[in-house]
Every structure is written in structure tokens, then in C-alpha cells.
């Protein structure tokens, strides 16, 4: 499943107004479930107190700040292809007094340039859906983590019910996703890279949280959203319509937020 979207299109999202709009709606933690999702994943993965983690597709570094502040991870390295979010992340980490514990690397996450086996865990939150080459991404995650280490991530995934060709086209085009993996697909990729899968499940969060975001824009954040969109009411209406489409797909079991935890052999 693909519609020709690549890394340049994804970078344009997070270097521009779309990224600002997502952050307005979802907060600094631009993933479904925010703090609760991060805490849930970290507790299930058992990574509290780790010496070093790598966040692939780290965006503005909110996940790394969460892990260092609330899970006592000593040091985090984040990799992202968008320089805008990296610069924003460096500034925010410094402002929160965490700059010395958090490093940002501007690179393609499938070729990070980081050393083999240098991380206790690899982390990701609802962002690997933006990566074109999912097999290369999982290979890189497995390369970076030490033997016995953990790969823990959430991601937007295909549901149990297939989408039509038109639904798939519309979904990928709106979200600027090159493709989306399934839960069984990620499980197979992890197994192919010498990882034992501990958990691969649907969090059940997708549908209610998208409805929450729609309600927030409708009832409280309309002006703020319009400001980001240069006060284009038609564009805001179009975005709202696409988000309602996402909600419907989730209700029909066609898309979901998947949670994955694996140990490297």
C-alpha cells in the first residue's frame, strides 16, 4: 500500500503548518494517548532506569523528555529527518533542564550512523508510519539495540478489516504516510531481525482519541487552528472532514494504534 509519498513530503509536514496544527491538537507529545500512552508503553517494556535509549523519529523530543524526567532514563539520543523539529526539540530540552541528557541527530532513521548495539532500548511513538522502508527501519532498530535489549513502540497500523482502494488512497494522502504496516507485518519484521516479540496488540485508543481531538478544535481551539492555517476556514473544514474520516475508519476496524514490545536475542 503506497501512494508515492516519500521522505521529502514527510519533512514538509513537520517543517510547516501541518506539524504546528498536529502539535496544537495533540500537544508536545504528538501521538495518540500522550502521557498515558508513554507511561503504559514504558511500564510494559520495563525500561525505567535504563542507561541509554534511542528514539527513532523523535520529532520535538517530547518522548525523550518524558523518559528522562519520569522514567529515570539516564541518556537519550533522538533521530529525525526534520531539522525544524530537531531545533525546536533542542531548545525545549534546554529550557526544561534536560539538554545535557538528550542528544538529537539529524538523519534518516534507516541510516542513523549510530553505533551497533549501543542502546539499552529503541523507542518510537506513532511515527514509524512516516518511514517509507519499514524493513530497513526495523533492521536499524535491531542493529542499534544491544543483545537482550528492548524495542518498544506504538504506531498507526492497518486494522483487521481491509480498506478499499479509495479509502487507502485518501487515508495515506491526508496523513502523508508512504505506507502503513499491519500488526502481523511488524511482528514478522521483528522476528526476521532476531527479536522475540513480547507484545503486539491494538491499544484501542484510536477511535476515542480522534473524536477528542475533533471536539477540542470544535469547542475550544478553533481560533488557534485558524491562525496556524492563515485563517482559511475552508482548509480547517477540510481538515476536520478528513479527521472524521479517520475516526470512521477506526470505528470500522480498518486502522488502529498498535503497541509493540520485543527483545533482541
Q: How far is residue 147's CA from residue 96's CA, in Å, rounded to a whole number? A: 32
Pairing assessment for the beta strands 195-202 and 102-106 based on DSSP bridges: unpaired
Residue 198: its pLDDT value, please?
A: 98
Residue 20 is predicted with a pLDDT of 86
180 with 255: CB under 8 angstroms? yes
pLDDT of residue 19: 78
Q: Residue 80 forms beta bridges with which residues?
A: 106
Q: Would you list the DSSP string of 106-150?
A: ES-TTS--PPTT-EEEEEEES-GGG-S-HHHHHHHHHHHEEEEEE
Of the CATH numbers 3.40.50.150, 3.30.70.2860, 3.30.70.1060, 3.30.300.30, which one belongs to the domain with range 7-204+254-264?
3.40.50.150
pLDDT of residue 6: 57
- pLDDT score at 18: 80
pTM of the model: 0.93
Q: Encode the chain (265 residues) as per-residue pLDDT tens digits.
A: 445 555 565 445 555 678 788 899 999 999 999 999 999 999 999 999 999 999 999 999 999 999 999 999 999 999 999 999 999 999 999 999 999 999 999 999 999 999 999 999 999 999 999 999 999 999 999 999 999 999 999 999 999 999 999 999 999 999 999 999 999 999 999 999 999 999 999 999 999 999 999 999 999 999 999 999 999 999 999 999 999 999 999 999 999 999 999 999 9
**DSSP H helical ranges for the chain:** 7-14, 17-26, 34-45, 62-70, 83-95, 134-144, 165-175, 183-192, 206-219, 222-228, 233-251
Amino acid at each position: 500500500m503506497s501512494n508515492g509519498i516519500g521522505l521529502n513530503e514527510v519533512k514538509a509536514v513537520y517543517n510547516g503548518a501541518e506539524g504546528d496544527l498536529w502539535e496544537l491538537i495533540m500537544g508536545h507529545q504528538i501521538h495518540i494517548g500522550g502521557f498515558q500512552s508513554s507511561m503504559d508503553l514504558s511500564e510494559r517494556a520495563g525500561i525505567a532506569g535504563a542507561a541509554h535509549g534511542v528514539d527513532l523519529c523523535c520529532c520535538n523530543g517530547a518522548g525523550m523528555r518524558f523518559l528522562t524526567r519520569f522514567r529515570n532514563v539516564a541518556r537519550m539520543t533522538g533521530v529525525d529527518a526534520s531539522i525544524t523539529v530537531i531545533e525546536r526539540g533542542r531548545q525545549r530540552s534546554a529550557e526544561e533542564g534536560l539538554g545535557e541528557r538528550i542528544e538529537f541527530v539529524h538523519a534518516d532513521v534507516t541510516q542513523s550512523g549510530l553505533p551497533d548495539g549501543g542502546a539499552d532500548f529503541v523507542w518510537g511513538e506513532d511515527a514509524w508510519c512516516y518511514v517509507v522502508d519499514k524493513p530497513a527501519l526495523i533492521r536499524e532498530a535491531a542493529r542499534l539495540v544491544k543483545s537482550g535489549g528492548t524495542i518498544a513502540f506504538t504506531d498507526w497500523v492497518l486494522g483487521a478489516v481491509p480498506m478499499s482502494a479509495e479509502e487507502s488512497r485518501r487515508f495515506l494522502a491526508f496523513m502523508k504516510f508512504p505506507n502503513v504496516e499491519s500488526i502481523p507485518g511488524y511482528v514478522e519484521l521483528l522476528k526476521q531481525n532476531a527479536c522475540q516479540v513480547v507484545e503486539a496488540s491494538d491499544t484501542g485508543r484510536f477511535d476515542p482519541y480522534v473524536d477528542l481531538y475533533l471536539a477540542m478544535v470544535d469547542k475550544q481551539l478553533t481560533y488557534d487552528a485558524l491562525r496556524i492555517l492563515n485563517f482559511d476556514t475552508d482548509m480547517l473544514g477540510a481538515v476536520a472532514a478528513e479527521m472524521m474520516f479517520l475516526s470512521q475508519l477506526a470505528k470500522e476496524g480498518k486502522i488502529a494504534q498498535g503497541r509493540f514490545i520485543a527483545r533482541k536475542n
